[in-house]
Amino acid sequence: MSEPRTLLAIDHVSKNFGRVTAVDGISLDIRENEFFALLGPSGCGKTTLLRMLAGFETPTDGRILLDGRDIARTPPNKRPVNLMFQSYALFPHMSVRANVSYGLEMEHLQKAEIRSRVDAILATTELGPFADRKPEQLSGGQKQRVALARALVKRPRLLLLDEPLGALDKKLRGAMQLELKRLQHEVGITFVIVTHDQEESLVMADRMAVLKDGRLLQCDTPHAIYEHPAGRFVADFIGVMNFVPGKVSADGVIAANGVRIAGKVPATLAPGASAVASVRPERIRLFPSADAANRTTGTVEALAYQGLDLQLHVRTPLSPKPFLVRVTADAADRRPVSAGDEVELGWDAADVRIFGE
Amino acid sequence: MAPALVWLTALMVVPCALVLALAFFRRGIYGGIDYTFTLENFGLVFDPLYAGIFLKSARIAGTATLIAVVIGYAAAYAIAAAPRRWQPVFLFFAVLPFWSNYLIRTYAWIVLLNREGLITQLLRWFGYTGEPPSMLYTEGAVIAGLVYNYLPFVILACYAPLSRLNPELAEASRDLGASAATTFRRVILPLTVPGIAAGAVFVFVLSIGNFVTPALLGGGRFQMIGNLVYDQFLTANDWPFGAALAMALIAIMLLVLMAQALAADRAAGRAAEANGGADG
């Protein structure tokens, strides 16, 4: 496979509002036809970055190159980029059909072409039966699809989605995540989604960028970010992580109780420096075999049954917070544990990630 | 409910009924009322002389309404676009003239428009040496006075829907390829029409029956319906004809108000129908 083409290059983009820096020198490449997620806690600058891509904010500094052309100062109605608003922003005085046709009317297309393109997108988004309804007559999920259809019908080079699933309930959200991904594949348009929900971006994104305080912390595939987080914040923000604080030694971290957690120490960390060793809950085994490099005993404080698996809170001498351990329901059936039990935990050195404080 | 009904009957229905009854009698020879039934007074309302005054009043009220709506909407738009914490301050200044008396506010225009008034002095200060422009005692002065006095109503009526408008709607329109002008015409304006309609009806109804402003700014012989009614009752002493004119004026106002209520009702009906459809 050839190297995917870069569609959008964000080049050292910064945005200041007065004395507040919302976006601080971010550089990112978004590739043709990918599903890209901008992820971060609220106030991290992801929405400001998205609004700069849509044209509602102008960068204080830097360039935004779409197909190699700088669009940083192009007004929103003159760029082949469309935004699906978090509030959907459907025109309340227009029917579903009129909402979806609006963007094509602005392109002064023939009536017949507008009609056929609108019909096609309404069919794709399963909105055909609702074409004559007003937005107030639609459910939340239907409104979301109208907002999506209204943006997609323009066939933009880039579709921006601002927290597209934020207003939906949890069950519908799960279904819509897959639906969005299917749709993106079907229409072949590059999607950039903004979300604060790490689970959402892990499920949907081909690649994602993690932002904090206006800076880019890491940009990679969900798998790479999950398995090799670039720092303690990313490790904590993406998924669940157990942390053991301590001091760096030659081949691991010495915990407060003197136990050594074996793992690969990054070259940037000098021996004796404060650091945390971390391990994912699903990498920890209950009652490990003798070859586990790291082991500890602990007391089960609580169990949370989650259908497929069981989550245990285990109090250990390694860290002030209890360890989270995830075991499959099968394993739990074979060797049941209950609150108050003494258990032994073990995990491999290869599953340990070490970060500076 | 009952006190309101008593109040309405005593202060609205009874006086109106009395004036209406008056319109069906003859004028006495030396003024006063000759209590014999006639329809002459209503016939006289349609006499070209008086019908002309009705038309002129409607034209002046219509022009004042148009100007007040354009200025008022623009002002409301600017206020709604200002930072949130400043909006109450601007609204306060917009309605500030209401705190002074209507007559005083209207007299102030005489000071402005007078032959040697402020505007003429300002022109002279800029080097103008010709005849002072005649501005006072013209139809234009009357329209200016009406616009000035009723503008705050329009600003308040238009501000309400403008300030409630989700700003993302305008952004969505821009995002879909519309220019700022198209966005205004196709999104902002249609969604704020109810405010414009309410403000416009207010200005029109208050203007067409107004008699203070035409009397002060239009000069002694300038007549709108209000002045005509006033003259019949207090100068000509023809109460029955005055009553017929007043009834005709009330009928016009009611028609305008009903048209607006009907339009608002139909808009609300569409919305209700829409909601009913969602349940099915």
Instruction: Find chain A residues with C-beta within 8 A of B165's C-beta.
Output: none
The sheet carrying A323-328 orders its strands as: A285-286, A342-347, A294-305, A309-315, A323-328
Task: Name the residue in chain B with its Cα closest to that of A156.
Answer: B176
Structure tokens at A104: 């094509």
**CB pair distance less than 8 Å for A106 and B176:** yes
Query: Where do we find the tokens 């590059």?
Result: A190
pLDDT at B269 (0 to 100): 66
Instruction: Find chain A residues with C-beta within 8 A of B269's C-beta.
Output: none
Is the pLDDT assigned to residue B139 strictly greater than 70?
yes
Best CA proximity match to A23, nearest among A71, A74, A76, A62:
A62
Task: Report the relative pairing of strands A35-39 and A207-212 from DSSP bridges.
Answer: parallel
- A299 contacts A315 by C-beta, under 8 angstroms: yes
pLDDT in tens, A216-264: 999 999 999 999 999 999 999 999 999 999 999 888 898 888 889 989 9
The pLDDT confidence band at residue B280, using thresholds 50, 70 and 90, is very low
- State how far the Cα of A162 lies from the Cα of A169, in Å rounded to an integer: 16
CB count within 10 Å of CB B250 equals 14
The pLDDT confidence band at residue B270, using thresholds 50, 70 and 90, is low
pLDDT at A328 (0 to 100): 84
The rounded mean pLDDT for chain B is 90
Best CA proximity match to A97, nearest among A154, A143, A142, A150:
A150
Check residue A130 and report its DSSP letter: G
The mean per-residue pLDDT over the stretch A89-116 comes to 95
Task: Name the residue in chain B with its Cα closest to that of A53.
Answer: B175
| Percent of chain A clearing pLDDT 90 (strictly above) | 66
Hey, of A88, A105, A137, which one would you mutate to test binding to chain B, going by the most B CBs within 10 A of its CB?
Answer: A137
- State how far the Cα of A313 lies from the Cα of A322, in Å rounded to an integer: 6
Is the pLDDT assigned to residue A357 strictly greater than 80?
no
The pLDDT confidence band at residue B243, using thresholds 50, 70 and 90, is very high
The pLDDT confidence band at residue B245, using thresholds 50, 70 and 90, is very high
Per DSSP, the three-state class of A93 is coil
Q: Which of A170-174, A251-255, B92-96, B239-243 has the lowest mean pLDDT?
A: A170-174
- State how far the Cα of A226 lies from the Cα of A223, in Å rounded to an integer: 5
Dump the DSSP string for B108-171: HHHHHHSTTSHHHHHHHHTT--SPPP--TTSHHHHHHHHHHHHHHHHHHHHHHHHHHS-HHHHH
Is the pLDDT assigned to residue A11 strictly greater than 90?
yes
Return the CATH architecture of domain B47-279.
Orthogonal Bundle (1.10)
Task: Report the relative pairing of strands A158-162 and A190-195 from DSSP bridges.
Answer: parallel
Structure tokens at A254: 């010495």
Q: What's the one-letter identity of residue A314?
A: V
Instruction: Find chain A residues with C-beta within 8 A of B179's C-beta.
Output: 77
A2-to-A5, A7, A78 alpha-carbon distances in Å: 9, 15, 31
- B137 contacts B219 by C-beta, under 8 angstroms: yes
Helix B239-279 vs helix B14-22: angle between axes, to the nearest 10 degrees? 130
Per DSSP, the three-state class of A171 is helix
- State how far the Cα of B26 lies from the Cα of B15, in Å rounded to an integer: 19
**CB pair distance less than 8 Å for B187 and A56:** no
Structure tokens at B44: 């006289």
Phi and psi angles of residue A30, each rounded to the nearest 5 degrees, phi first: -110, 130
Spatial CB neighbours of A102, under 8 Å, sequence gap ≥ 6: A91, A94, A150, B173, B176, B178, B186
**CB pair distance less than 8 Å for B175 and A82:** yes
Task: Name the residue in chain A with its Cα closest to that of B168.
Answer: A89
Structure tokens at A20: 């507040």
pLDDT at A186 (0 to 100): 87
The dihedral built from the CA positions of residue B207, B211, B214 and B216, taken in this order, carries a sign that is: negative
CA angle A325, A330, A334 (to 5 degrees): 95
pLDDT in tens, A263-300: 998 888 888 889 999 999 999 988 887 788 898 889 99
**CB pair distance less than 8 Å for B274 and A136:** yes
pLDDT at B263 (0 to 100): 86
Is the pLDDT assigned to residue B220 strictly greater than 90?
no
The pLDDT confidence band at residue A173, using thresholds 50, 70 and 90, is confident
The pLDDT confidence band at residue B273, using thresholds 50, 70 and 90, is low
The mean per-residue pLDDT over the stretch A95-109 comes to 96
Is the pLDDT assigned to residue B277 strictly greater than 60?
no
- A40 contacts A50 by C-beta, under 8 angstroms: no
Per DSSP, the three-state class of B103 is helix
pLDDT in tens, B152-193: 999 999 999 999 999 999 999 999 999 999 999 999 999 999
The pLDDT confidence band at residue B278, using thresholds 50, 70 and 90, is very low
- State how far the Cα of A261 lies from the Cα of A254, in Å rounded to an integer: 6
A184-to-A31, A124, A125, A205 alpha-carbon distances in Å: 14, 11, 12, 11
- State how far the Cα of A329 lies from the Cα of A338, in Å rounded to an integer: 13
Give me Rg for the CA atoms of chain A.
24
Best CA proximity match to A164, nearest among A152, A148, A151, A150:
A148
Closest by Cβ to A83, choosing from B175, B186, B274: B175
The rounded mean pLDDT for chain A is 91
**CB pair distance less than 8 Å for B166 and A87:** yes
Where does B9-101 have alpha helices with state H? 14-22, 40-45, 48-81, 87-95
The pLDDT confidence band at residue B130, using thresholds 50, 70 and 90, is confident
CB count within 10 Å of CB B30 equals 6
pLDDT in tens, B64-122: 999 999 999 999 999 999 999 999 999 999 999 888 888 999 999 999 998 888 888 88
Helix B118-125 vs helix B102-113: angle between axes, to the nearest 10 degrees? 30
The mean per-residue pLDDT over the stretch A139-161 comes to 93
A248-to-A230, A234, A278, B131 alpha-carbon distances in Å: 18, 20, 13, 95
**CB pair distance less than 8 Å for A136 and B176:** no
- State how far the Cα of B93 lies from the Cα of B91, in Å rounded to an integer: 5
Best CA proximity match to B215, nearest among B86, B121, B107:
B107
Structure tokens at A317: 């001498």
Phi and psi angles of residue A167, each rounded to the nearest 5 degrees, phi first: -90, 0
| Percent of chain A clearing pLDDT 70 (strictly above) | 99
The mean per-residue pLDDT over the stretch B241-251 comes to 94
Structure tokens at B21: 């009854």
Per DSSP, the three-state class of B3 is helix
pLDDT in tens, A29-78: 999 999 999 999 988 999 999 999 999 999 999 999 999 999 999 999 99
User: Is ipTM > 0.95 here?
Assistant: no
